[in-house]
Amino acid sequence: MHGKNNIAIGFLIMGGFMLYGFLLIYLRDFAPDKQAWVDSYSTGKHFESRLAHVHGNLFAVLNVIIGYLLLHFSGKLDHAKAISWLAMTGLLMPIGILAEVYFGVPPALVLVGALAMTASVVWLGISFYTMKIATKETA
């Protein structure tokens, strides 16, 4: 049954980062100091915030896809539980970026999340490559 949590958490995180996108739109278009925000487009908090938004949604979608595949191919893939947990741990990357921006947290969560997501994707790819497919021989 591995994968169900990836799908649920993936959609919840995606919803959260979509809402965060509305905050970014507000800061760009409606905030009292919007010009300062626009002027810092490629530097500092502005850049990091957009990076978190993009990676948050990407990693959420990856969790939904990975979760679906783990559910669909349950019993045929090795190490499904580990792959599932690594993919969910990958969500620490965008969360870690936001923790850096808003709370000054060191980038350890970003690195752990990035490595975990990369490992889950590569491991799942290897698992599919080595998966045994039952074939029917025709006479």
- Compute, in degrees rounded to 10, the torsion defined by CA atoms 92, 97, 100, 103: -70
Q: Look up tokens 């919840």; give the residue.
A: 12
Q: How far apart are the first and last CA of the chain?
A: 36
Decide if 139 is inside a domain. Answer: no
Q: Look up tokens 């000054």; give the residue.
A: 104
Decide if 90 is inside a domain. Answer: yes
Angle, helices 108-130/44-72, rounded to nearest 10 degrees: 30
Decide if 41 is inside a domain. Answer: yes
For the chain, how many structural domains are there in total?
1
Decide if 65 is inside a domain. Answer: yes
Q: Is there a contact between 92 and 116 (Cβ–Cβ < 8 Å)?
A: yes
Q: Check pLDDT > 60 for residue 138.
A: no
Decide if 116 is inside a domain. Answer: yes
Q: What does the alpha-carbon distance between residue 95 and residue 27 come to, in Å, rounded to a whole number?
A: 19
**How much is the pLDDT for 139?**
46
Arithmetic mean of pLDDT, 71-94: 96
**Tokens encoding 129:** 């490559």
Decide if 135 is inside a domain. Answer: no
Q: What residue numbers bound the domain in which 108 lies?
A: 4-130
Decide if 88 is inside a domain. Answer: yes
Compute the C-alpha angle 97/102/108, nearest 5°: 35
- What global pTM score does this model have? 0.91
Taking only the tens place, the pLDDT of each residue in 114-134 is: 999 999 999 999 999 999 886
**How much is the pLDDT for 1?**
76
Q: Which residues does 99 contact at the CB level (< 8 Å), separation at least 6?
A: 105, 109
Taking only the tens place, the pLDDT of each residue in 7-62 is: 999 999 999 999 999 999 999 999 999 898 888 888 888 899 999 999 999 999 99
